């Protein structure tokens, strides 16, 4: 019998989760989960607090190990990647991101090049070019020489995303990237994420609390509740009163401002 033809890279899921669960001190945080995450999309993880969103992102980022099952990243078992090789393919932005006092934005973005030149390697021309490109793409060039302590919340989040862009990966994991920002900065950060997806073909998975932001800026939405997958689909698929009632336990009405626009939800 002939071997099956290999799956083309552009058709292979970025992540494939096979029977993944996570339990800590006898408490089940994630129920056994089978899920494929498509490459080249912006995917929003939604759900109430404690639903398992951040746990799922930490599993994808190799910050914690699953209790059962396995995760494939680009067709390979997650644990088979070396640390440096993995960091050249995936960048992770957690909720808490402490920065040493006195660090400039440029120095912060330089950190993103670590997987490429190592702790003792010289910072070369390619590294400089990647940092400059990241600053330009994230519109942080004018902030480059400022200390991170002087930045607003929105500016600091853009600087962190610039560091991830400089890392030059094809996949970003963002855990609540807009949770501490006002509405204007939330929009600025999510528009930046959307631009990166389109301009660089990135795969992005991010945890969001605002269902309307997820609808507006994500290609696909995945909803968790009590550690279980309860909905997965496009914004038009997910943004229905029935789905949102199952996800959040409250009643919404759905609004379309014009034909073809992404739907938005209003509490009844």
CB atoms within 10 A of CB 119: 5
Q: Given pLDDT bands bounded at 50, 70 and 90, which one contains residue 240? A: very high
For residue 224, which of 33, 18, 64 has the smallest C-alpha distance? 33
Distances in Å between the Cα of 71 and the Cα atoms of 79, 87, 233 are 8, 16, 21
In which region does residue 241 sit, left (phi positive, over 0), alpha (psi from -120 to 50) or beta (all else)? alpha
Q: What is the mean pLDDT of residues 137-156?
A: 94
pLDDT of residue 8 exceeding 70, the answer is no
170-203 pLDDT per residue, tens? 999 999 999 889 999 999 999 999 988 888 889 9
15-39 pLDDT per residue, tens? 999 999 999 988 999 999 999 999 9
Please give the Cα distance from 244 to 170 (Å, whole number). Answer: 31
pLDDT of residue 117 exceeding 70, the answer is yes
In this structure, the chain runs to a length of: 268
């Amino acid at each position: 019998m002939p071997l099956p033809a290999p799956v083309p890279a552009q058709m292979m899921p970025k992540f494939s989760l096979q029977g993944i669960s996570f339990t800590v001190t006898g408490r089940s945080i994630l129920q056994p989960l089978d899920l494929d995450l498509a490459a080249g999309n912006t995917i929003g993880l939604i759900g109430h607090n404690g639903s398992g969103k951040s746990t799922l992102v930490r599993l994808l980022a190799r910050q914690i190990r699953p209790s059962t099952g396995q995760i494939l990243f680009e067709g390979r078992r997650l644990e088979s990647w070396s640390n440096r090789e993995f960091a050249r393919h995936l960048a992770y932005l957690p909720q808490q991101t402490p920065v040493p006092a006195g660090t400039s934005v440029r120095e912060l973005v330089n950190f993103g090049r670590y997987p490429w030149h190592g702790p003792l390697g010289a910072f070369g021309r390619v590294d400089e070019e990647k940092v400059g490109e990241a600053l330009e793409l994230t519109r942080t060039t004018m902030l480059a020489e400022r200390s991170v302590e002087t930045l607003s919340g929105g500016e600091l989040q853009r600087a962190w995303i610039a560091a991830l862009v400089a890392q030059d990966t094809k996949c970003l994991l963002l855990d609540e990237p807009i949770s501490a920002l006002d509405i204007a900065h939330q929009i600025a950060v999510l528009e930046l994420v959307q631009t990166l997806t389109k301009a660089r073909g990135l795969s992005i998975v991010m945890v969001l609390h605002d269902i309307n932001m997820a609808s507006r800026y994500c290609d696909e939405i995945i909803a968790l509740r009590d550690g279980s997958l309860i909905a997965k689909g496009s914004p038009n698929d997910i943004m229905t009163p029935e789905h949102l009632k199952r996800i959040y336990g409250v009643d919404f009405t759905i609004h379309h401002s014009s034909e073809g626009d992404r739907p938005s939800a209003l509490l009844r």
